[in-house]
Structure 1
Amino acid sequence: MSSGASFYITTPIFYPSDVPHIGHGYTEVAADVLARWHRQSGDDTWLLTGTDEHGQKMLRTASANDMTPREWADRLVESSWLPLLDTLDIANDDFIRTTQERHETSAAAFLQKLYDTGFIYTGDYEGFYCVGCEEYKQPSELVDGTGPFEGQRVCAIHSKPVELLHERNYFFRMSEFQDRLLALYEERPDFVQPESARNEVVSFVRQGLADLSISRSSFDWGIQIPWDPQHVVYVWFDALLNYITAIGYGQDEANFARRWPGIQLVGKDILRFHAVIWPAMLLAAGLEVPKHVFAHGWLLVGGEKMSKSKLTGIAPNQITDVFGSDAFRYYFMRAITFGQDGSFSWEDLAARYQAELANGFGNLASRVIAMITRYFVGVVPEQGAPQPADEAISAVVAKAAAEADAAIDRFAIHEAIGALWTVVEELNGYITEQQPWVIAKDPEQRERLGTVLYTTAEGLRALAVLLSPVIPEATRKLWSALGAEQSLGVLQAQPLRSAGEWGQLPAGATVSPLEALFPRIEPDATAGATR
């Protein structure tokens, strides 16, 4: 992707019917890492997240808590969903709520356009409806209930009974877009990613598309249909529009043209909405479809999908209170192949924190700063004539930077971090082999000692820049301790795609003491987190 290109990325907007769990945090962090990488590469970047506040589930949850849906949404957004962004160090550019006037006005305009051009009609609908999914279910998507629901058909995802609804609704002529969607998947094989997700979508659409019921008249919590106020818009039809209403559709055409089309990052359970219904809606309105729809996997705890109702939900701050936000970000981006399901365990998190962050990266940074302080009174020395071992380090840095950038372009965040971690490992090995503490005893090897320590400091400079989208807090501290801010400017201003070019940290930069980037965590602290 060329520098300066538009990079607009969205998370799904989340239901604030309950508090966030680490599955929500996982999506937010992934989008944030990608956005930070592109932003620091000079791309015209915009990260959107937000909340989806209409629909029957919100109405029922609010009623159960003796509140209006708006009061309930306000309370949850302020107390849980906005704080989540601070907890995980998310640098989003916008936060949209579907109850905001900017969204409701533009969504109504979009609907009116589809109605005026004949893509919306009136009809009768009867079907099984899952309130948890806010979706009509096919018989094949239902299973036999167990326990209190024995003898009933239940949603395969929520394990709760579905409701048989009969309504006179407005329908979107989605069936007309089957061939155009199949052509889209064929012509742009990277439109839906990863490949497993694409195959699922193609298979689903080939089975035939039905028209979509897009209004409800049995309750009033939603956006009114502009030409028929007795109906409100189906919550998914409303929610999907946030990706364009937030950037000015129907109100700020210049900004809309600047940002759209974007990249939609979603969980695989909502893939069909984003890869089938959403592009069909856009095609009907004469708009471009997204650049990509990327479906990541589920987070599994004890082999089960993260779920509040099954009590497998873990709040992000249960992790960050013990390990910090950087560790949360690093662990979920590194330990899980992005696009596949991944298992979370406290034991794995604690082990990676100790081995990779504390002992691997943190200890490396502390040793280098300490040796420059001890042997060169805190001033980064000149690099003398490089030896093959030094040149090998600069080659590793250049290769890792290029591989990480290519991996980010493929949404392979785990591969990008893996590539950068080769620099951490090589620098640790280099220090062990070069033994600067031995060289320091020989005054005649003063220049060699300077070269070794410059090589390690410059390697850390590159790591600070390249890892800043993943672990922003630790890299800020390292950047400051290296004395890089005075000589090179703030960390966020460093062009990321040229971070692998050797020799940017000037000799003469003054280092300062570095607190432990990843402090030792007592075993009883993690035990408390798991209870």
Structure 2
Amino acid sequence: MSETFYVTTPIYYVNSHPHIGHAYTTIAADVFTRYRRLFGEEAYFLTGTDEHGQKIAESAAQAEIDPQEFVDRMAGEFRDMWPSLHIAHDQFIRTTDPEHKSAVQAVLQRIHDQGEIYLKEYEGLYCVGCERFLDESELTPEGDCPDHQKPPQPHKEQNYFFRMSAYQAWLVQLLENNPELVYPGRYRNELLRFLEAPLQDLCISRPKSRLSWGIELPFDKEFVTYVWFDALLNYPNALGWPDAPRYQKFWPHCHHIIGKDILKTHGIYWPCMLKAAGIPVFQKLVVHGHWVIGGSKMSKSLGNVVNPLDMKDRLGVDAMRYFLLREMSFGEDANFTEALALARYNGDLANNLGNLISRSITLARKNFDGQVPPCGELAELETNLRHEFTAGVGRVRELVCAFQPHRALELVTQLSSAVNKYIDEHKPWKLAKEPEQCELLGTVLYSALDSARILVGLLQPVMPEKMAEAQRLLGLSEQPLELGQLTPGGLQSGTQLPE
């Protein structure tokens, strides 16, 4: 396993406000970053905003302000929201950043100089929402764009095209030879099915006569860059492509986390762009499903979005983070309701781990002078519990690194249930009434508290604030634990348990 981890979210389009779908992707990236650091890896986490294109220009015009003023305002909403959701990214990139613009133009010039960009007149069906021409095969039976549920409009104009068709055989071979490149694997299969038809060249420009809000083509000042070609290049540009030390260090370990609605752009366009530009392909494309409300995908276009700030005010930030990571099986769609979130939080946490911590600390305070009790001789139950936790920590690591956080959190809940079962079997509240059972009582409570410590450490990347408080209650530093500390028997007897 690599000791370096670079994770990116899509850069979010700022034609509207952030919603819970944006929050989910960004929280997931944050959680993966925190786990990788827990596992001893050096991690770098990028997010940001996509700020060019027709929809931005139209939104700015509707607001009667300059496009730059509009994107400054909207990018601020995204940037300001993330800390309130306990998201700690390492870099926030904007496609209006001067460094990004220069790098995009450098890539365009390189590919153009290779003869792989050409000018031609094109007529097709254009979707404003997608900001691209759609093939008829992509439309619904009713002739609508499947994402925006509106028919694309016929449009004819002269534009520059990238010879993407030249990379079809290479891309098919890449996907076939690298089954781990796209996760879950069915999305790789979806890309291969798409590639069974001839791959069309990609329109990469818009004439300034129609759209001036974009990055100017370096070889023709009458055109600006197609928004997707601009946006995708943020991933290496943020690291200082082509020769910055940070780029050299992190790019070979790049993991893109995306929603399934942008699979084609990231799984078809992007690898071909990278190959043409001479940039190594990402290490993994990780694809998640959509949050569903009332049977429909949550999206700005459909107007059925949930504001993450409203949700975190009702549930609490860490409860929301836990629900989002636990409820969605990565790659599948998941239902989103406040009732589901509350039920998940109460079932997995309040009535399980919370109950474990509360009763263990209460009994230890009462019977051992407010301290972690000494651990006596380990019997079969204690030995089995320790073995279960040792294996469990390793398995959680495997599941997280396999991008299966829902299964990792399910396992943490199972481990917590095992400790509660252990407590119920020993009935320490009864042992406390029998002076001759003092040593056994200490062993039981020590084992419970030590197990709780490990569970808290495993949950810290998901619930950083709540678990920091739990560590304080266990007499520990509020700093995140390291993987080497998540071993049974690591809790120090005699540690004061603060009120």
Alignment TM class, shorter chain as reference: over 0.9
Query: Residues 98-109 of structure 1 correspond to what in structure 2 (within 5 A)?
Result: 98-109=95-106
* 1:264, distance to aligned residue in structure 2 (A): 0.5
For 2:203, the equivalent position in structure 1 comes to: 213
Q: Deviations over 1:246-303 (max 9, x none)?
A: 01113x5221110103001100010011111101111111111000111111110111
* 1:141, distance to aligned residue in structure 2 (A): 2.4
| 1:390 pairs with 2:382 | yes
For 1:442, the equivalent position in structure 2 comes to: 434
1:466 and 1:499 in contact (8 A); partners too: no
1:381 and 1:508 in contact (8 A); partners too: yes
Query: Residues 399-414 of structure 1 correspond to what in structure 2 (within 5 A)?
Result: 399-414=391-406
Query: Residues 470-481 of structure 1 correspond to what in structure 2 (within 5 A)?
Result: 470-481=462-473
Query: Residues 76-475 of structure 1 correspond to what in structure 2 (within 5 A)?
Result: 76-78=74-76, 80-143=77-140, 153-217=143-207, 218-250=210-242, 252-261=243-252, 262-475=254-467
Pick the aligned partner of 2:22 from 10, 21, 24. 24
Structure 1 CA distance, aligned partners of 2:301 and 2:108?
Answer: 34
| 1:495 pairs with 2:463 | no
Structure 1 CA distance, aligned partners of 2:308 and 2:84?
Answer: 8
AA partner of residue 482 (structure 2): P
AA partner of residue 51 (structure 1): T
For 1:9, the equivalent position in structure 2 comes to: 7
| 1:508 pairs with 2:498 | no
2:353 and 2:452 in contact (8 A); partners too: no
The number of residue pairs the alignment matches comes to 496
Stretches of structure 2 that go unaligned for 5 or more consecutive residues are none
Structure 1 CA distance, aligned partners of 2:400 and 2:150?
Answer: 39
* 1:447, distance to aligned residue in structure 2 (A): 1.3
Structure 2 CA distance, aligned partners of 1:141 and 1:182?
Answer: 20
* 1:499, distance to aligned residue in structure 2 (A): 4.4
Structure 1 CA distance, aligned partners of 2:365 and 2:148?
Answer: 58
Structure 2 CA distance, aligned partners of 1:157 and 1:420?
Answer: 36
Q: Deviations over 1:407-455 (max 9, x none)?
A: 1121111111111111211111111111111111122221111111110
2:322 and 2:463 in contact (8 A); partners too: yes
Stretches of structure 1 that go unaligned for 5 or more consecutive residues are 146-152, 514-531
Structure 1 CA distance, aligned partners of 2:60 and 2:315?
Answer: 34
Structure 1 CA distance, aligned partners of 2:204 and 2:146?
Answer: 23
Structure 1 CA distance, aligned partners of 2:44 and 2:70?
Answer: 28
2:292 and 2:298 in contact (8 A); partners too: yes
* 1:144, distance to aligned residue in structure 2 (A): 6.8
2:175 and 2:192 in contact (8 A); partners too: yes
Structure 2 CA distance, aligned partners of 1:163 and 1:68?
Answer: 27
1:465 and 1:491 in contact (8 A); partners too: no
1:52 and 1:97 in contact (8 A); partners too: yes
AA partner of residue 32 (structure 1): D
Structure 2 CA distance, aligned partners of 1:111 and 1:378?
Answer: 67
Percent identity over the alignment? Answer: 41
2:259 and 2:288 in contact (8 A); partners too: yes
* 1:365, distance to aligned residue in structure 2 (A): 1.5
Question: 3-state SS of the aligned residue for 2:223?
Answer: strand
2:148 and 2:302 in contact (8 A); partners too: no
Structure 2 CA distance, aligned partners of 1:108 and 1:328?
Answer: 40
Pick the aligned partner of 2:40 from 39, 42, 54. 42
Question: 3-state SS of the aligned residue for 1:466?
Answer: helix
AA partner of residue 51 (structure 2): E
Structure 2 CA distance, aligned partners of 1:354 and 1:417?
Answer: 14
* 1:29, distance to aligned residue in structure 2 (A): 1.3
Query: So what's the TM-score if we normalise by structure 1?
Result: 0.91
Q: Which moved more, 1:135-144 or 1:106-115?
A: 135-144
AA partner of residue 244 (structure 2): E
* 1:323, distance to aligned residue in structure 2 (A): 1.0
1:404 and 1:416 in contact (8 A); partners too: yes
* 1:307, distance to aligned residue in structure 2 (A): 2.1
AA partner of residue 248 (structure 1): G
CA RMSD of aligned residues (A): 1.4
Q: Deviations over 1:59-102 (max 9, x none)?
A: 10111111111111111122x21232123211111111100111
Structure 1 CA distance, aligned partners of 2:394 and 2:473?
Answer: 26
2:457 and 2:486 in contact (8 A); partners too: no
Structure 2 CA distance, aligned partners of 1:483 and 1:229?
Answer: 64
Q: Which runs of at least 4 in structure 1 moved beyond 3 Å after TM superposition?
A: none
